[in-house]
Structure 1
Amino acid sequence: MAIAPTVEAKSIEQTFVTITCSERLEPQDARYLRGVFAWLYPNRPEFHGHGPRGLVYGHPRIQYKVLNGQGLVVGVQEGAFLLQLAQPPARLRLGTRWLDVISMDRIIRSVPFGLADASFEYKFVTPWVALNEENHSRFESTRFQRKEEARTVLRKVLIGNLLSLSKALGYAVPGPISAEVKVDEPMEVILKPGVVLLGFLGRFRTNFWIPPLWGIGKQSARGFGAVERIA
C-alpha cells in the first residue's frame, strides 16, 4: 500500500525490476548489469550516464544493485517510466560469464519523497561511498582523536547527498534537513579491479523521505549507498 506524503513531501513514481539468473550474482556484478542495459539502450543516457558529449553528470535516475544474489534495477521519475518498458535479454553477459535469466519481476509504485514532519531511521544495505578527496582528508584527520568532528563531517555529507538528490528530482527543499549518522568503521569496497574506495555501513536518522532501496552518495548508480527505512 502506498504511503501518503506529508505536506512538505511529494509523491514520485518508482519502479523495481528484479532479475534472477541461473547463478547467484555478486555485488560487483552491478556494474556489469549496468553495462547490459547500456548496450540495450545506448541512446537513453538515463540507463548509463553517457550522452552525445560524454558523461552526464548529476544524480542517476536508474540504479543497478545486487541484493540477495539477484540483480535489482531501480528507477525513479523518468527512470521509473523507462523501466516499465525495458526488457532484458534471455541471457546476460556479466563480465566473462554468460548467465540465463530465470525470471524477471517488476513492481511499480508511488512513494513519498522529500522533507517530513517526523524523523525516520534508515540503514545502509550496501556500503555508502561518502567521501571525496577533500572530506576524506578531513575525516581521516579526525576519526581517531576527534570522533565528534568526524561524525559532523559525515552528517554534512549525508545532508549534502539529500540536497543533491532533491535538486536532481526537481524538488525544492522547503526547510532544514536534520541528520544523525551512526556508521561502522570504514571498509574498503572494490569498484572494479584496481579501484578501491572507502565505504560505510550502519544507520542514520533524518527528517526526509528517501525512496526504498535508493542509493545516495558516490557510485550510487553502481549499487552503492542503498538505504532501507527501518523505523
Structure 2
Amino acid sequence: TVQENLPPSLDSKAEQPPLFDGTTRFYTSYTCPYAQRVWITRNYKGLQDKIKIVALNLQDRPAWFSEKVYRDSKVPLLEHNGQIIGESIDVIKYVDTNFEGPSLLPNDPAKREFAEELFNYIDTFTTEVYTAFKGDPIKDSGPAFDYLEKALNKFDDGPFFLGQLSLADIAYIPNVERFEIFLSEVWKHDITASRPKLAAWIEQLNKIDAYRQTKIDPKKVVDLYKTRYM
C-alpha cells in the first residue's frame, strides 16, 4: 500500500480553503483520537481521492475555522454536499452510508444492535480510563478493559467486536492505542495481560494498512498524557 502524502497542518496564519465548492473535505488534527476514527474509515473504504484532508494545528488554530466553518471549532468535521457534519461517530456512520467502498456495518440485526451498544458505551469507556490516570491507573482502568474483553467474546466468527471489522472497532482503537502506550511506557502495565481476545484484536488491527497509516507517534502520547495526568 502506498503511504499517502499528508498535507501540513494549517495554523493561524494559513488561508482558508474554499468552502462548499464541491470538494469533500475532512477537517482533522493528526493527533486527535476522535478524528482518527474518520481517517481510518476513509482509508479503509479507499476514499483517499474522494475525501480531501484539511489538517489543523489545534494549538494555533486558524480563526476562520470557528468563524466560517464550525462554531464549536472541533474536529473531526466532514464537509460534503453543502453541509457540515460533526461528532466522530456520526461522521463515520455518514461516510459508511454515503460513500462507496466496503461496508463497515453488517446487515445482521443482532450485530447492528450490539454495535449501537458499543457506540453508546464509548464515552463511559474513555472517561473511566482518563479518570483512572488520576488515581491508581492499573487497578482503576481494569474494568474498562475487561468490558472490551467481554465484548470481544460475543461473536465468534472473527477477531473483531462484530466478528468482522466494523465501525465499532474503528471507534475504539484510537483511544485504546493511546491508553496501551501510556500504561505500558509510564506504568509498565500490559493491558492485554490475561485478556487474550483484546490482545488478538489489537494484533489483527495492526495488520490493517488503513489503520496503521493513522497511528500516532508513541512519544507524543506519553508527553501529552504526562503533561495532562502527572
TM-score clears 0.5: no
Q: Which TM-score applies when normalising by structure 2?
A: 0.29
Instruction: Give the structure with the higher percent helix.
Output: 2
TM-score (norm 1): 0.28
